[in-house]
Structure 1
């Protein structure tokens, strides 16, 4: 009981912090109606809308920091998607590589919504690279180094303008695909996987459904059904408070959100190449959302932990142990493309 109170309190504190953040100036609405955009961009077909643009970035690597058996470096490249915010058009990140082994399997680690620091995720990158898996951690659009001036991390991810939100989702995936292209083409990585937490878990799930380059996927507390989460969780109530028209818009654009809902999509990967972690006391992603995903995806590996949305990665050595064992089973598998 005391532990449950503690982990729920951590989630509660994150809500309080998020609620105190100030709104930035409104982003101008995209030109044209949502219906026209969906039609012109073929957005009803995720495999087409999120199709890999084939961009292999000219990655600029800097500030190498040597450890006993791996290096930590910073990278940056131009996003394949141009936006009105200059800071958002350059992808920054960290790259962890074993000495002399660029060809090792690589995980692309995706942080959650409104994350402002690498602190929670740097530890996982170090654990992965020590176990023989290189790791790239890109800043997602409108986060970290890509946060526009006079706004806070993630504020421009979800806006009342549905077209802007869809474009941000597509930019997020295109940036991750660019890292995957670089890993395969420039580094010769034998396998490329994605691992994401919360919003990053949603993006990892989308990658597993639309990107043939992905060989395995880890989804930690994935926000797999945004429409349901916005409707039933405190996260949704906070979003509605910050965006007064959100409730009406979410109802109006429920079909659009459904197109990005993971239970409505089918992964390109077999169930044994997907690992899902859920926090029993998660106050942001309801249990029924994760259960629905699990059943819809033919019951991949699902681990449940007595944790909340944040403590599951902050205070959970069991997840680290389970991931380590599961990744061992994936490490020597052939690329997923050879199975198709």
Structure 2
């Protein structure tokens, strides 16, 4: 430690405090260069629970270029120059780590006394955590069982490489560009029932998935009312709950639209479960499914606008929240975007998420490296992008015990999308409280 000890908070040079003279003195006396190094996360090791077996404590390390000891300068001038170079270099490395790894507040240096401080025991909270973890774990097991039905072939790595190379040329606005669908406008004009169907602009190998569908629930105000577009979770069990929420939105004076996302509900190919094909080890199909969902919702919004509807809000959960976040990257005119437990960190979703253990095994077997997958994040990972709409109209909702959409990731994107709001509740990824609380918050804010 060139400082001669550990300093935290405002006393740390990472927060702008002056550098102690030890490092510059040693470099000058030894007549050797000095290499800058910033380590973040090691202060977590003060917490007792971080020494538990199998508990992973992430640590981030950055090295800078070597600094000369400036033998051509006078001793006092050389030491002052070394101190200045070190201080500036530490700040740059610190900023680089925060930016590159999307670090949250909890990842940044904390005093040892804070890390060692035991949290007051709350039996009720512990019970909530245990119940939430049990439900999340059970759902993760079922997701892995579903994924085990889908294996990659010997050409998967080559196909993925070609796909990524083509996608690297595109911006999000190009990738999610929505062609106008005249047939959809006509379907809205001539709709006798509540269902709208149209040909998806993305062709897949499954004919049933190539027909987009949205269930429309108009309010008594008709076109004068704003419209909320509901985007469901992955492998959503039933549409009944969404229909009930649609009725509540109608009572509030809103039109409601429930979108059948790719590979779900009416779009499930024969011989498969609801949502089974949306997320598997086939990352190209996953990406094209997300793309399909975003483009179809953009087509729906455009067609409704052409038909006289003017204001739109997005209400997305989990997988639907992921699509909603991608929509926010390309749609400027949205009244609100409420994202409940959304998947925003694709890197974690693939390589650390307990619900994708089988996927990881298949990807490694096919020799598809994380570095290759990361080259698509500029199109598929909300955490690596900025919103096109007003961030003040974005509401993030997370569960304290969520094992899939980690609270730390939701915190990180909320900080990056400056002006957005964050709500947190004591539940896991799979729960019903967040929907009720989210709608209440939207009402409070006058959306």
Tell me whether the two structures share a fold, i.e. TM-score over 0.5. yes
Cα deviation, residue 210, structure 1:
0.9
Instruction: Name which of 208, 212, 224 aligns with 2:328.
Output: 208
Query: How much has 1:299 moved relative to structure 2?
Result: 4.0
> Structure 1: where are the runs of 5+ without partners?
65-72, 331-340
- Measured after TM superposition, the shift of residue 203 of structure 1 is 0.8
Equivalence for 2:374: 254
Is 1:111 matched up with 2:236? no
Task: Give the structure 2 partner of residue 297 of structure 1.
Answer: 417
Which among 10, 15, 31 is matched to residue 135 of structure 2? 10
- Superimposed CA distance per residue, residues 177-214 of structure 1 (whole angstroms, 9 cap, x where no aligned partner): 1211122112x222112121111111111111112343
Query: How far apart, CA to CA, are the structure 1 residues paired with 2:236 and 2:362?
Result: 18
The structure with the largest alpha-carbon Rg is 2
1:24 Cα deviation from its structure 2 partner: 4.9
Residues paired across the two proteins, number:
318
* Structure 1 equivalent of residue 305 of structure 2: 184
Q: Structure 1 CA distance, aligned partners of 2:341 and 2:207?
A: 31
Within the alignment, does 1:322 sit opposite 2:425 as a pair? no
Q: What is residue 3 of structure 2 aligned with on the other side?
A: none
Match of 1:237 among 321, 341, 357: 357
Asked whether 1:53 is paired with 2:174, we answer: no
- Asked if structure 2 preserves the Cα contact closer than 8 Å seen for 1:281 and 1:309, the reply is yes
Does the CA contact (< 8 Å) of 2:231 and 2:261 recur in 1? yes
Q: 1:150 aligns with which of 259, 263, 271?
A: 271
Post-superposition Cα deviations, 1:70-123, rounded to whole Å, max 9, x if no partner, equal xxx233222122222110011223211112513311111111112242134333
**1:97-153 C-alpha deviation (Å, 9 max, x unpaired):** 112513311111111112242134333322222211111111111111101111222
Match in the other structure for 1:333? none
**In 1, distance between residues paired with 2:224 and 2:158?**
45
Alignment of 1:16-165 (within 5 A): 16-21=141-146, 24=149, 33-40=159-166, 44-56=170-182, 57=184, 58-59=186-187, 64=193, 73-165=194-286
Task: State the distance in 1 between where 2:361 and 2:248 align.
Answer: 38
Distance 1:103 1:146, change over 3 A: same
> If the length of structure 1 is used for normalisation, what is the TM-score?
0.82
The alignment partner of 1:102 has SS state of helix
TM-superposed CA distance for 1:314, in Å, is 4.8
Change (3 A) 1:119 1:23: farther
Q: For structure 2, which runs of at least 5 residues remain unmatched after alignment?
A: 1-125
Residue equivalent to 1:281: 401
**Residues 225, 43 of structure 1: CA spacing in aligned structure 2 closer, same or farther, 3 A cutoff?**
farther
Q: CA deviation at 1:290?
A: 0.7
Tell me the C-alpha RMSD between the 2 structures. 2.9
2-side partners of 1:257 and 1:246: how far apart?
Answer: 20
Distance change in 2, residues 1:148/1:322 (3 Å): same
Please, what TM-score do these two structures have when normalized by structure 2? Answer: 0.64
**SS of equivalent residue, structure 2 residue 222:** coil
Instruction: Compare the two structures and name the one with the higher helix fraction.
Output: 2
**Structure with greater contact order relative to length (CA < 8 Å, sep ≥ 6):** 1
Aligned runs of 1:300-315 on 2, under 5 Å? 300-311=420-431, 313-314=432-433
